[in-house]
Amino acid sequence: MKSEAAEHDEPLVATAPVYPSPVAAWSAVAIMFLLAVLAILDRSIMTLLVEPIQADLKLSDTAMGFILGIALAVPNGLMSLPVGWAVDRYPRRAIIAIGVGVWSLGTAATGLASSVAGLFVARGVIGAGEASLAPAQQSMLSDMFPMKQLGLAFSITNMGWKAGTGVSLLIAASLVSFFPPSELIDVPLVGRLAGWKVIFLAVGLPGFLFIPLIYLMREPVRHGVSAAGDHAGSGYRDYFAFFARHRRFLLPHHIGFMSFVALFASVNAWMPSFLVRVHHMPAATAGGWLGTAMLFSPLIGMPLHGALADYFYRRGVTDIHVRYPMVTALLGFPFGVAAFLVTDPYWSIAMIAIFVFFIACYTSLPLVAAITSFPGRLRGKASSFIILVCSTGGIALGPLTVGRLTDVVFEDPGKLGYSMMCTMVIFTFFVVAPFAFALGPLRAFKRQEAAQA
């Protein structure tokens, strides 16, 4: 016999949802922000070390694209499926704590890798550990805030992922000055290591100190779960049945979101190398200036985007969480292209800063639209599937596309900027077109949801 959950899209109970106090909820947002910064720091610090790693291990741009993208993205996506299952059943704080320990270990292990295979494995451990954070935090936030406040809450939390990019470049720039990446440095208990390996050790090991911070958050009451706490109708079979019923919205949404991830991942992975290789900026200088731009653009943009989206949603624009990022992609596009056409490196950084300001909302608003369309009992799985398909696909495709264009099409490492510009054109199109197709079905879904309330 089918459970009630399997037959209906509504939560298992109709009682009004219970939310934590504003102090507890926003304190959790602050902690999740810091954890996101830590995650992206461990993931992105490699981008400023591309040149010394390539020189040390004799890697092509295509091989480096695999390490920057696929080596992290595939384990991240595959691990997100069991994590999503666990998020809907077990305490989410514990899942996050385990993940922080795993990805910190992977970052430190990157510093001990002595071959391409070792680098792939260590990068994969980082990706597997980071798979815990997004599903757990999105599930918790959805149980902490009503829909009318979720845009801002998601924006501030996910601002950590974007601010972390800038922080990682600033920290890397400082560490590059302190530990020259190509020099051998004596490390106690380990021996002599290249400076770029010492940087990974210095970044990875302190991550374990963040684990106690996780338990300062309160585990919120789950919405859409029966009072008995059973999990009827919460399996992946139920998830895919729900997805199939609403595929006219969810399918183009996922394609557009994956393209957004690829768009930013390509810039994040290769922009430091572009400044070093094409404009001949020292790595420390490039990291300092680019890190500052990548830090302050999302810090300014994401709260603004989240607040504006909440404003329009309260005034009846029910498709705003997809419409808004679609518009900002178009607004940011000319600045993104200009970054690779100007001849001054500082103007290039300025163009990228404006580009990131506009598109920064892509990590929050489209997720609000997707995650909240699912009943509470399926949100962990919804988040994990988005990570598997969208984040994994985007992180894998973005850096790899740039590398392949450079190696195969332009056949010149000095034409990296042309590869990045072409990649930006391709993925911007695949953001805007699918999102445009998703708007009508999203409005219809919201009308149906309102009628059933």
Under 8 Å CB-to-CB from 94, ≥6 apart: which residues?
A: none
pLDDT of residue 386: 82
Q: Which of 326, 367, 440 is nearest to 138 (CA)?
A: 367
pLDDT of residue 345: 94
Instruction: Reply yes or no on whether the pLDDT at 430 is more than 80.
Output: yes
For residue range 111-147, list pLDDT tens digits in order.
888 888 888 899 999 999 998 998 888 888 888 888 7
pLDDT interval class at 234 (50, 70, 90): low
pLDDT interval class at 329 (50, 70, 90): very high
pLDDT interval class at 336 (50, 70, 90): very high
Q: Is 420 left (phi over 0), alpha (psi -120 to 50) or beta?
A: alpha
CATH number reported for the structural domain that contains residue 190 in this entry: 1.20.1250.20
Least confident interval from 2-6, 63-67, 79-83, 350-354: 2-6
pLDDT of residue 411: 86
pLDDT of residue 436: 96
Instruction: Reply yes or no on whether the pLDDT at 76 is more than 50.
Output: yes
Residues in the chain: 453
Q: How many domains does the chain have?
A: 1
CA distance 123 to 288: 24
CA distance 158 to 134: 9
Under 8 Å CB-to-CB from 40, ≥6 apart: which residues?
A: 160, 161, 162, 164, 165, 167, 168
> In the predicted model, what is the mean pLDDT of the chain?
85
Instruction: Reply yes or no on whether the pLDDT at 244 is more than 70.
Output: yes
pLDDT interval class at 233 (50, 70, 90): low
> Which amino acid makes up residue 242?
F
For residue range 271-298, list pLDDT tens digits in order.
988 999 999 998 888 888 988 888 888 8
For residue range 16-64, list pLDDT tens digits in order.
567 888 898 899 999 998 898 888 887 778 877 888 888 888 888 888 8
Contact predicate 195/179, CB 8 Å: yes
Q: How many CB atoms lie within 10 A of CB 29?
A: 22
pLDDT of residue 230: 46
H helices of 111-210, in order, are 116-130, 133-144, 147-178, 195-204
Is position 2 within any domain? no
pLDDT of residue 13: 35
What values do phi and psi take at 414, rounded to 5?
A: -70, -10
pLDDT of residue 361: 86
CA dihedral (199, 205, 209, 213) positive or negative:
positive
Higher pLDDT, 322 or 84: 322
Q: Is 222 left (phi over 0), alpha (psi -120 to 50) or beta?
A: beta
The pLDDT of 255-268, averaged and rounded, is 92
Is position 6 within any domain? no
pLDDT of residue 452: 73
What is the span of the domain harbouring residue 123? 19-218+233-452
For residue range 179-193, list pLDDT tens digits in order.
888 888 888 888 888
Q: Which of 228, 254, 240, 213 is nearest to 84 (CA)?
A: 240
pLDDT interval class at 225 (50, 70, 90): low
pLDDT of residue 453: 61
H helices of 282-391, in order, are 283-314, 320-338, 345-359, 365-371, 379-386
pLDDT of residue 215: 93
Alpha-carbon distances, residue 347 vs 242, 341, 343 (angstroms): 47, 10, 8
Q: Which of 288, 265, 261 is nearest to 275 (CA)?
A: 288
The pLDDT of 241-253, averaged and rounded, is 92
pLDDT interval class at 228 (50, 70, 90): very low
Least confident interval from 34-43, 204-213, 406-415: 34-43
H or E element that contains 186: strand 184-187
Instruction: Reply yes or no on whether the pLDDT at 227 is more than 70.
Output: no
The pLDDT of 391-398, averaged and rounded, is 81
Q: CA 331: distance to chain centroid?
A: 21
Instruction: Reply yes or no on whether the pLDDT at 442 is more than 80.
Output: yes
Contact predicate 376/224, CB 8 Å: yes
CA distance 270 to 69: 11
Higher pLDDT, 167 or 120: 120
